[in-house]
Amino acid sequence: MDTLVFRNLDLRAPFEYTKIALADPFVFPAAPEGAVLFQLDSHLYTELEGDPHRLLGKPIQGGVESPSEEGNNPGKGSFRIPPGKYFFVQRREPPSLEAVAQVNAEAQREALWRGLHLTDRLYVRFLVEEEGLVFQILRPLVQGGE
């Protein structure tokens, strides 16, 4: 596993995608970019050990970038990662259940260590970079002392 670098990300504009059906959140149609939203169990937020798959929660919805022939896509924006503050990490490998579960567990431990409060949502974004397919974990930060 490569060294993970965790960052606070202030996302100023949304990532917008066309919503897709999720038979398997780790099997994506051929697309240069996309994302999946997972609903996490907030009672497991302080869980530091154990099976990382328990922390992953269940997929709610997902979307992919799918440009239309005319350059405008009427479905674009039907799934989005909204602007906001996120705890962020990227891994240079294709997303898989095992890899995403491990990285999410590491992100949760790191956030607890830093004293950050995360919401019960997890966005997994995938995209193609020069080295190939990568995935990113975006965990929204709780704002305003909620």
Which residue's structure tokens are 């095992």? Answer: 98
Residues across the chain: 146
Q: For the chain, 146 residues long, give each residue's pLDDT as a single digit of tens.
A: 568 999 999 999 999 998 988 777 777 667 789 999 999 887 666 666 667 777 788 889 999 886 553 455 556 668 999 999 999 999 999 888 899 999 999 999 999 999 999 999 999 999 988 878 899 999 999 976 44
Q: What's the pTM?
A: 0.86
Compute φ and ψ for 97, nearest 5 degrees: -55, -50
C-alpha to C-alpha distance for 144 and 146, rounded to whole angstroms: 6
- Strand ranges, E, within 44-94: 58-64, 76-81, 84-91
